[in-house]
A = this chain, B = another copy of it.
Amino acid sequence: MKRRILGIDPGSRICGFGVIDIVGSQRHYVASGAIRTPQGASLAERVKVLVDGIHQVIDTYQPTEAALEQVFVNVNPAATLMLGQARGACMTALVLKGLPVAEYTALQVKQSVVGQGKAPKEQVQFMVVTMLNLSGTPQADAADALAVALAHANHSGGAIGQLARSGLRVKGGRLV
Protein backbone atom coordinates (compact mmCIF):
# COMPACT_ATOMS: atom_id res chain seq x y z
CA MET A 1 0.00 0.00 0.00
CA LYS A 2 1.33 3.40 -0.94
CA ARG A 3 2.00 5.79 1.91
CA ARG A 4 1.20 9.44 1.31
CA ILE A 5 2.29 11.90 4.01
CA LEU A 6 0.82 15.34 4.65
CA GLY A 7 3.28 17.60 6.47
CA ILE A 8 1.97 20.71 8.21
CA ASP A 9 3.95 23.72 9.44
CA PRO A 10 1.40 25.64 11.53
CA GLY A 11 1.64 29.39 11.96
CA SER A 12 -0.64 32.14 13.28
CA ARG A 13 -0.89 33.79 9.86
CA ILE A 14 0.41 31.27 7.34
CA CYS A 15 0.12 27.50 7.52
CA GLY A 16 2.40 25.59 5.17
CA PHE A 17 1.48 22.18 3.79
CA GLY A 18 3.43 19.61 1.81
CA VAL A 19 2.39 16.23 0.45
CA ILE A 20 4.85 13.48 -0.48
CA ASP A 21 4.60 9.84 -1.49
CA ILE A 22 6.83 7.08 -0.13
CA VAL A 23 7.52 4.45 -2.74
CA GLY A 24 10.05 1.96 -1.38
CA SER A 25 13.06 3.96 -0.31
CA GLN A 26 12.13 6.86 -2.58
CA ARG A 27 10.16 10.01 -1.76
CA HIS A 28 8.13 11.74 -4.45
CA TYR A 29 6.78 15.27 -4.38
CA VAL A 30 2.99 15.48 -4.75
CA ALA A 31 1.97 19.01 -3.79
CA SER A 32 2.76 21.91 -1.46
CA GLY A 33 1.51 25.36 -0.66
CA ALA A 34 0.38 27.69 2.08
CA ILE A 35 -2.94 28.60 3.65
CA ARG A 36 -3.07 32.29 4.52
CA THR A 37 -5.49 33.52 7.16
CA PRO A 38 -6.90 37.04 6.70
CA GLN A 39 -5.09 39.73 8.70
CA GLY A 40 -7.17 41.43 11.37
CA ALA A 41 -9.81 38.71 11.23
CA SER A 42 -11.32 37.18 14.36
CA LEU A 43 -10.04 33.84 15.66
CA ALA A 44 -13.29 32.24 14.51
CA GLU A 45 -12.74 33.46 10.93
CA ARG A 46 -9.07 32.46 10.88
CA VAL A 47 -9.83 29.01 12.27
CA LYS A 48 -12.48 28.51 9.60
CA VAL A 49 -10.02 29.41 6.79
CA LEU A 50 -7.38 27.10 8.28
CA VAL A 51 -9.67 24.10 8.73
CA ASP A 52 -11.40 24.53 5.35
CA GLY A 53 -7.98 24.83 3.69
CA ILE A 54 -6.55 21.72 5.36
CA HIS A 55 -9.70 19.73 4.62
CA GLN A 56 -9.52 20.78 0.96
CA VAL A 57 -5.90 19.57 0.80
CA ILE A 58 -6.87 16.25 2.43
CA ASP A 59 -9.88 15.75 0.15
CA THR A 60 -7.78 16.54 -2.94
CA TYR A 61 -4.64 14.52 -2.19
CA GLN A 62 -6.00 11.81 0.15
CA PRO A 63 -2.95 11.42 2.43
CA THR A 64 -2.74 8.25 4.55
CA GLU A 65 -0.98 9.94 7.50
CA ALA A 66 0.08 13.36 8.76
CA ALA A 67 3.02 15.00 10.51
CA LEU A 68 2.67 18.27 12.41
CA GLU A 69 5.61 20.46 13.39
CA GLN A 70 5.87 20.97 17.14
CA VAL A 71 6.19 24.75 17.23
CA PHE A 72 7.66 26.73 20.03
CA VAL A 73 8.04 30.48 20.39
CA ASN A 74 9.21 32.38 23.36
CA VAL A 75 8.81 35.91 22.00
CA ASN A 76 5.84 36.88 24.14
CA PRO A 77 2.87 35.11 25.73
CA ALA A 78 0.32 36.66 23.34
CA ALA A 79 2.22 35.39 20.27
CA THR A 80 2.66 31.98 21.89
CA LEU A 81 -1.06 31.77 22.66
CA MET A 82 -1.96 32.73 19.07
CA LEU A 83 0.42 30.15 17.63
CA GLY A 84 -0.97 27.53 20.01
CA GLN A 85 -4.50 28.34 18.86
CA ALA A 86 -3.52 27.94 15.19
CA ARG A 87 -1.75 24.66 15.96
CA GLY A 88 -4.76 23.38 17.91
CA ALA A 89 -7.00 24.19 14.94
CA CYS A 90 -4.61 22.37 12.54
CA MET A 91 -4.50 19.32 14.80
CA THR A 92 -8.31 19.33 15.02
CA ALA A 93 -8.59 19.51 11.22
CA LEU A 94 -6.28 16.48 10.83
CA VAL A 95 -7.90 14.44 13.61
CA LEU A 96 -11.42 15.06 12.28
CA LYS A 97 -10.38 13.45 8.99
CA GLY A 98 -9.18 10.38 10.89
CA LEU A 99 -5.51 10.78 10.00
CA PRO A 100 -2.85 9.43 12.38
CA VAL A 101 -0.72 12.46 13.36
CA ALA A 102 2.96 12.33 14.36
CA GLU A 103 4.66 15.36 15.92
CA TYR A 104 8.23 16.55 15.39
CA THR A 105 10.12 19.51 16.82
CA ALA A 106 11.98 21.86 14.43
CA LEU A 107 15.21 20.40 15.84
CA GLN A 108 14.15 16.87 14.94
CA VAL A 109 13.09 17.93 11.45
CA LYS A 110 16.47 19.58 10.81
CA GLN A 111 18.39 16.62 12.24
CA SER A 112 16.42 14.26 10.06
CA VAL A 113 16.58 16.25 6.81
CA VAL A 114 19.96 18.00 7.05
CA GLY A 115 21.77 15.85 9.58
CA GLN A 116 22.20 18.49 12.26
CA GLY A 117 19.71 20.38 14.42
CA LYS A 118 21.18 23.84 14.06
CA ALA A 119 21.09 23.99 10.25
CA PRO A 120 19.94 27.33 8.81
CA LYS A 121 16.58 27.56 7.03
CA GLU A 122 18.26 27.80 3.59
CA GLN A 123 20.01 24.48 4.11
CA VAL A 124 16.72 22.80 4.98
CA GLN A 125 15.17 24.23 1.81
CA PHE A 126 18.17 23.07 -0.24
CA MET A 127 17.81 19.52 1.10
CA VAL A 128 14.05 19.51 0.41
CA VAL A 129 14.73 20.53 -3.21
CA THR A 130 17.45 17.89 -3.53
CA MET A 131 15.64 15.01 -1.84
CA LEU A 132 12.43 15.59 -3.80
CA ASN A 133 14.23 16.45 -7.03
CA LEU A 134 12.33 19.74 -7.41
CA SER A 135 12.95 22.10 -10.31
CA GLY A 136 12.54 25.23 -8.13
CA THR A 137 12.60 26.19 -4.45
CA PRO A 138 9.15 26.15 -2.88
CA GLN A 139 7.90 29.07 -0.79
CA ALA A 140 9.38 29.02 2.75
CA ASP A 141 6.31 27.71 4.63
CA ALA A 142 5.66 25.06 1.98
CA ALA A 143 9.32 23.98 2.15
CA ASP A 144 9.10 23.69 5.94
CA ALA A 145 5.98 21.55 5.62
CA LEU A 146 7.69 19.30 3.05
CA ALA A 147 10.64 18.98 5.46
CA VAL A 148 8.26 17.82 8.23
CA ALA A 149 6.78 15.24 5.85
CA LEU A 150 10.29 14.06 4.88
CA ALA A 151 11.30 13.83 8.56
CA HIS A 152 8.27 11.66 9.22
CA ALA A 153 9.10 9.48 6.20
CA ASN A 154 12.64 8.99 7.57
CA HIS A 155 11.51 8.31 11.14
CA SER A 156 8.62 6.05 10.28
CA GLY A 157 10.33 3.79 7.74
CA GLY A 158 11.80 1.40 10.31
CA ALA A 159 10.39 -0.69 13.11
CA ILE A 160 9.03 2.32 15.02
CA GLY A 161 7.15 3.45 11.94
CA GLN A 162 5.58 0.04 11.48
CA LEU A 163 4.43 0.01 15.11
CA ALA A 164 3.18 3.57 14.86
CA ARG A 165 1.08 2.75 11.83
CA SER A 166 -0.29 -0.30 13.57
CA GLY A 167 -1.91 2.03 16.09
CA LEU A 168 0.77 2.80 18.65
CA ARG A 169 1.59 6.40 19.35
CA VAL A 170 4.75 8.11 18.10
CA LYS A 171 5.86 11.49 19.37
CA GLY A 172 9.02 13.07 18.03
CA GLY A 173 10.00 9.83 16.35
CA ARG A 174 9.86 7.85 19.58
CA LEU A 175 7.14 5.53 20.74
CA VAL A 176 5.48 6.97 23.83
A positions within 8 Å CB-CB of B: 42-45, 47-48, 51, 71-74, 77-78, 80-89, 91-96, 100-101, 103, 169, 171, 176
Q: Indicate the member of A42, A72, A93, A95 with the most B CB atoms within 10 Å.
A: A95
| Nearest Cβ on chain B to A115's Cβ, whole angstroms | 27
CA gap between A47 and B45 in the complex, in Å: 19
Oligomer: number of copies: 2
| Nearest Cβ on chain B to A117's Cβ, whole angstroms | 19
CA gap between A47 and B103 in the complex, in Å: 14
**B residues less than 8 Å from A71 (CB atoms):** 81
**B residues less than 8 Å from A88 (CB atoms):** 43, 47, 84-89, 91-92
Cβ-neighbour of A87 out of B73, B78, B85, B101 (below 8 A): B85
**B residues less than 8 Å from A169 (CB atoms):** 42, 45
| Nearest Cβ on chain B to A118's Cβ, whole angstroms | 20
Q: Indicate the member of A42, A45, A171 with the most B CB atoms within 10 Å.
A: A42
| Nearest Cβ on chain B to A96's Cβ, whole angstroms | 7
